[in-house]
C-alpha cells in the first residue's frame, strides 16, 4: 500500500462518521457503542476504492457545517467518608507578664501529629487544624543539642532570637537533650504487642503495615528480652505467650498469622495486655505495652475518659503503654494520643514502613527506655523586661502553677536520647504589645529592671523508680540574644517548623508569613540531616503551599 492509502482511508472514515452524525436519528443513551476493533462486517477499502471515494468525501466534508466539540465535564467524585477524630485545640493565648508571670507545662515527646499531617498532605489535602499539634511537628526531628555532662539524665539549653514573622517579637527556645543509651545496654525488655485485629484493620495501610513494622522491632530484640502477643477484635486472646527475643522465627510467625475481622473490644484488649505484662514482669527492666490500632473502639468501654482512667490506674504497676496509630478513614487520634499520655508512653503514627523503621529501629532506645519521668517545666518571666509571652504549641500539656511542686501530678516522660524543644514568643519592654495594660495598675510583681534576666527556668523530674522529684534551675539572660541569621541551625529549623505548623492551623499569630517563608528558612537550616527528615520537610512545605492556592 502506498503512503497515501492510509491517509485516504482515514479521510473516508472521518467523512462517513460526520455524515452519519448529521443525518441519523439520535442514538439512545443506553445503546453501547460498538468497538471499532471488533467490527467484522465491513471489508477494508482497497487503495483504489479509497482514492475514488476521496474527492467525494472531501467535498462532503467541506460542505458540512462542523459543530464545535466539547468534552463532557467530569463527574464530581464524592468525598470519601471520614470518621477521623481529633481532640479540639485552642491556640495558647498571649499573657501579660504583669498579670500572669508564670508558665507551667508538661514535656511532650509524641510525634504522631507530624506523620499524620504528612499522610494528609501526600493524600492531596491540607490537614484540619485540630490535627496539627505544633510541638509534635517540632519534636519529630532530632536536634544536635549538647548531651548532659553533670550526671543528670538530660541537659537543658536556652536561646533567644527575633521571630521571623513579627519584628516586634522575640523567640525563646528551651531545649532538652536526654542521655543516650546504646541498644545493647538497655535493661531487659518485657514487651507486649497489643494488636487490633478488628474488621476495620484489614486495609493495606493498617494490619499489613502493622505486621511489617512490628517485625522490624523483633529483629532488634535480644535473647534476654521477652515478647508476648495479645490480640483483640470482638474478643481477646493471647496469641503468643512470653517468648525469648532469640526465637524470632516463632514471633514473626505469630505476627504473620494475624488476620482482621470482627468488632473492636479495645478496653478488654488493654486489660488482657496489662495482665500478660504483669505475669512476665521484669523488675528493674523495661515493661511496656505497644498498642497498635486505628483507635476505632466500638465494643465494651468506648468512652475516652473511662479508658484514660483505666490506663492511669494500671500504670502504677510499673508497666507503661505506648500507642502506634495506623490507617485512615476512622482513625481515633484523640484517643491514642491521650491514653499514651496517661500511660507514661508516647504516641506515634505510622503512615509507611519508613516511619515504622524510624520509631521501632532508629529510635528504639527512646521508644522503649525511660530515663526521666513526670518532667515539668516552669518559667517565670521578669515583668520589668518582658511584657508579654505566648507558648507555641503544648496546648494540651498545660499545668497549673501549683502542679509544678506536686509530685502526684503526672507529666510527660523522656526516653533515652530524646530531644524536646519548646518555643515561646515574647514581647520585650518597649516593643508594641498585643494587650493593653490594666487601667488601674497590675497585681503582679514589679520585677527587677536592673538585672539582665528575662526569665528564670525551673525543671522537675523523677528518676525511674523514684517517687520524689528533683529540681534543675537556670536563668535566661538577655545577652543570649542573637540575630536570627546568626542563631544555630537547630534554632532556625525548629522556628521554621513552628511557623509552618502555625500557618497550617490558620496563622492566627504569624501575620503574613507563608509556607514559602517556612520552607526558605528551613532550607538554609538543614544542618546534619542524617536520615533526610529535614529534606522531606522541604517537600511537604512546598506541597502545602501548592494545596493552599
Distant-in-sequence, close-in-space partners of 291: CB < 8 Å, separation ≥ 6: 194, 196, 269, 270, 273, 321, 322, 323, 324, 336, 339
H or E segment at 136?
helix 134-138
Which candidate, 510, 378, 377, places its Cα nearest to that of 100? 378
Per-residue pLDDT at 3 exceeds 90: no
Distance CA 498, CA 22 (A): 64
Is 160 found in the same domain as 149?
Answer: yes
pLDDT band at 16 (very low <50, low <70, confident <90, very high): very low
Is 410 found in the same domain as 380?
Answer: yes
pLDDT digits (tens, 9 = 90+) for 330-362: 888 888 999 999 999 999 999 999 999 999 999
How far does CA 404 lie from the centroid of its chain?
A: 28
Q: What pLDDT is attached to residue 404?
A: 98
Q: What would the 3-class secondary structure string for 327-377 be?
A: CCCCCEHHHHHHHHHHCCCCEEECCCHHHHHHHHHHCHHHHHCEEEEEEEE
The reply to whether 51 falls in a domain is: no
The reply to whether 118 falls in a domain is: yes
Using DSSP's 3-state secondary structure scheme, residue 270 falls into: helix
Per-residue pLDDT at 50 exceeds 60: no
pLDDT digits (tens, 9 = 90+) for 94-144: 999 999 999 999 999 999 999 999 999 999 999 999 999 999 999 999 999
Is 535 found in the same domain as 421?
Answer: yes
The reply to whether 292 falls in a domain is: yes
Backbone angles phi, psi at 375, to 5 degrees: -85, 120
Which candidate, 6, 104, 109, 112, places its Cα nearest to that of 51? 6
Distance CA 370, CA 189 (A): 12
pLDDT digits (tens, 9 = 90+) for 185-197: 999 999 999 999 9
Q: What pLDDT is attached to residue 300?
A: 58
With cell 485516504, the residue in question is 8
Angle among Cα 17, 18, 24 to the nearest 5 degrees reads 80
- Inter-residue contact 476 to 160 (CB < 8 Å): yes
Using DSSP's 3-state secondary structure scheme, residue 37 falls into: helix
Distance CA 348, CA 531 (A): 18
Distance CA 32, CA 38 (A): 13
Backbone angles phi, psi at 18, to 5 degrees: -65, -40
- Inter-residue contact 194 to 273 (CB < 8 Å): yes
Which candidate, 536, 42, 131, places its Cα nearest to that of 328? 131
320-325 and 347-349 strand pairing:
parallel
Is 391 found in the same domain as 360?
Answer: no
Q: What pLDDT is attached to residue 301?
A: 61
Distance CA 210, CA 385 (A): 51
End residue of a domain, out of 316, 344, 368:
368
The reply to whether 99 falls in a domain is: yes
User: DSSP assignment of 187-229, as one string?
Assistant: PPEEEEEEEE-SGGG-STTTHHHHHHHHHHHHTT--TT-EEEE
End residue of a domain, out of 335, 352, 368:
368
pLDDT digits (tens, 9 = 90+) for 294-335: 877 765 566 778 888 899 989 889 999 999 999 988 888 888
CATH of the domain at 485: 2.60.40.1230
Q: Count the Cβ atoms, other than its own, within 10 Å of residue 161.
A: 21
pLDDT digits (tens, 9 = 90+) for 373-397: 999 999 999 999 999 999 999 999 9
Backbone angles phi, psi at 49, to 5 degrees: -65, -40
Distance CA 163, CA 527 (A): 20
Q: What pLDDT is attached to residue 9?
A: 43
- Inter-residue contact 500 to 518 (CB < 8 Å): yes
Per-residue pLDDT at 167 exceeds 70: yes
Is 188 found in the same domain as 163?
Answer: no
Q: What pLDDT is attached to residue 447?
A: 81
Sign of CA dihedral 200, 203, 204, 205: negative
Q: What pLDDT is attached to residue 18?
A: 45
Distance CA 51, CA 4 (A): 9
Give the structural domain span for 357. Answer: 184-368
Is 374 found in the same domain as 452?
Answer: yes
- Inter-residue contact 232 to 223 (CB < 8 Å): no
Q: What pLDDT is attached to residue 302?
A: 63
CB-count burial class (<10 Å; 0-12, 13-18, 19+) for 323 = buried
Distance CA 343, CA 125 (A): 32
Distant-in-sequence, close-in-space partners of 41: CB < 8 Å, separation ≥ 6: none
Q: What CA–CA distances, in Å, run from 61 to 4, 11, 110, 312, 429?
A: 19, 9, 70, 82, 83
Is 397 found in the same domain as 286?
Answer: no
More confident residue, 403 or 19: 403
pLDDT band at 91 (very low <50, low <70, confident <90, very high): very high
The reply to whether 394 falls in a domain is: yes
H or E segment at 86?
none
Which candidate, 540, 473, 468, places its Cα nearest to that of 116? 540
Cα atoms in the 13 Å half-sphere on the side-chain side of 6: 2
Is 357 found in the same domain as 328?
Answer: yes
Is 197 found in the same domain as 102?
Answer: no
Domain count, the chain: 2
With cell 483507635, the residue in question is 295
State mean pLDDT over 482-502: 97
Is 288 found in the same domain as 270?
Answer: yes
Q: Considering the chain, what is the average pLDDT of its residues?
A: 86
The reply to whether 13 falls in a domain is: no
Is 516 found in the same domain as 407?
Answer: yes
H or E segment at 311?
helix 304-314
Beta bridge partners of 456: 380, 475
The reply to whether 63 falls in a domain is: no
Backbone angles phi, psi at 175, to 5 degrees: -120, 135
Residues in the chain: 549
Is 356 found in the same domain as 207?
Answer: yes
End residue of a domain, out of 319, 346, 368:
368
pLDDT band at 536 (very low <50, low <70, confident <90, very high): very high
Q: What pLDDT is attached to residue 240?
A: 97
Q: What pLDDT is attached to residue 200?
A: 87
pLDDT digits (tens, 9 = 90+) for 421-472: 999 999 999 999 999 888 887 656 678 877 899 999 999 999 998 999 999 9
CATH of the domain at 191: 3.40.50.410
pLDDT band at 420 (very low <50, low <70, confident <90, very high): very high
The reply to whether 255 falls in a domain is: yes
Amino acid at each position: 500500500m502506498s503512503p497515501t492509502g492510509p491517509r485516504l482511508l482515514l479521510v473516508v472514515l472521518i467523512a462517513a462518521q460526520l455524515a452519519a452524525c448529521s443525518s441519523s436519528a439520535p442514538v439512545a443513551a443506553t445503546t453501547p457503542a460498538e468497538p471499532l476493533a471488533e467490527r467484522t462486517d465491513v471489508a477494508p477499502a482497497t487503495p483504489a476504492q479509497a482514492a475514488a471515494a476521496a474527492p467525494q468525501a472531501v467535498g462532503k466534508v467541506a460542505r458540512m457545517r462542523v459543530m464545535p466539540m466539547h468534552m463532557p465535564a467530569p463527574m464530581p467524585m464524592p468525598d470519601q467518608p471520614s470518621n477521623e477524630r481529633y481532640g479540639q485545640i485552642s491556640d495558647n493565648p498571649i499573657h501579660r507578664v504583669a498579670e500572669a508571670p508564670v508558665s507551667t507545662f508538661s514535656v511532650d515527646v509524641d510525634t504522631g501529629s507530624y506523620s499524620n499531617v504528612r499522610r494528609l498532605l501526600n493524600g492531596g489535602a491540607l490537614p484540619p487544624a485540630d490535627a496539627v499539634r505544633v510541638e509534635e511537628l517540632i519534636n519529630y526531628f532530632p536536634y544536635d543539642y549538647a548531651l548532659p555532662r553533670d550526671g543528670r539524665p538530660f541537659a537543658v539549653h536556652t536561646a533567644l532570637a527575633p521571630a521571623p514573622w513579627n519584628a516586634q517579637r522575640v523567640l525563646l527556645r528551651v531545649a532538652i537533650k536526654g542521655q543516650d543509651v546504646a541498644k545493647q545496654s538497655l535493661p531487659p525488655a518485657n514487651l507486649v504487642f497489643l494488636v487490633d485485629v478488628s474488621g476495620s484493620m484489614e486495609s493495606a495501610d493498617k494490619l499489613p503495615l502493622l505486621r511489617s513494622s512490628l517485625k522490624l522491632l523483633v529483629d532488634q530484640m535480644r535473647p534476654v528480652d521477652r515478647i508476648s502477643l495479645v490480640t483483640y477484635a470482638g474478643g481477646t486472646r493471647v496469641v503468643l505467650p512470653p517468648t525469648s527475643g532469640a526465637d524470632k522465627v516463632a514471633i514473626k510467625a505469630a505476627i504473620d498469622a494475624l488476620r482482621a475481622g470482627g468488632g473492636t473490644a479495645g478496653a478488654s484488649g488493654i486489660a488482657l495486655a496489662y495482665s500478660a505484662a504483669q505475669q512476665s514482669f521484669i523488675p528493674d527492666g523495661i515493661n511496656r505495652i505497644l498498642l497498635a490500632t486505628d483507635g476505632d473502639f466500638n465494643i465494651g468501654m468506648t468512652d475516652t475518659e473511662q479508658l484514660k482512667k483505666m490506663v492511669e490506674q494500671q500504670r502504677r504497676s510499673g508497666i507503661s503503654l505506648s500507642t502506634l496509630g495506623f490507617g485512615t478513614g476512622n482513625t481515633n487520634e484523640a484517643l491514642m494520643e491521650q491514653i499514651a499520655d496517661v500511660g507514661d508512653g508516647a504516641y506515634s503514627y505510622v503512615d509507611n514502613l519508613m516511619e515504622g523503621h524510624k520509631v521501632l529501629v532508629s529510635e528504639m532506645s527512646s521508644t522503649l527506655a525511660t530515663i526521666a519521668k513526670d518532667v515539668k517545666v516552669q518559667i517565670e518571666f521578669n515583668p520589668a523586661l518582658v511584657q508579654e509571652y505566648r507558648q507555641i504549641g503544648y496546648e494540651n500539656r498545660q499545668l497549673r502553677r501549683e502542679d509544678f511542686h506536686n509530685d502526684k501530678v503526672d507529666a510527660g516522660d523522656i526516653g533515652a536520647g530524646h530531644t524536646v524543644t519548646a518555643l515561646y514568643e515574647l514581647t520585650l519592654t518597649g516593643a508594641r504589645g498585643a494587650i493593653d495594660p490594666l487601667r488601674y495598675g497590675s497585681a503582679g510583681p514589679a520585677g527587677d529592671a536592673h538585672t539582665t534576666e528575662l526569665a528564670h527556668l525551673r525543671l522537675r523530674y523523677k528518676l525511674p523508680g523514684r517517687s520524689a522529684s528533683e529540681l534543675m534551675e537556670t536563668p535566661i539572660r538577655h545577652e543570649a540574644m542573637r540575630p536570627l541569621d546568626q542563631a544555630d541551625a537547630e534554632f532556625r529549623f525548629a522556628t521554621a517548623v513552628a511557623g509552618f505548623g502555625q500557618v497550617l492551623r490558620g496563622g492566627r499569630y504569624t501575620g503574613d508569613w507563608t509556607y514559602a517563608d517556612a520552607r526558605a528558612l528551613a532550607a538554609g537550616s538543614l544542618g546534619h540531616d542524617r536520615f533526610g527528615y529535614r529534606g522531606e520537610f522541604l517537600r511537604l512545605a512546598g506541597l502545602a503551599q501548592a494545596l493552599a492556592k
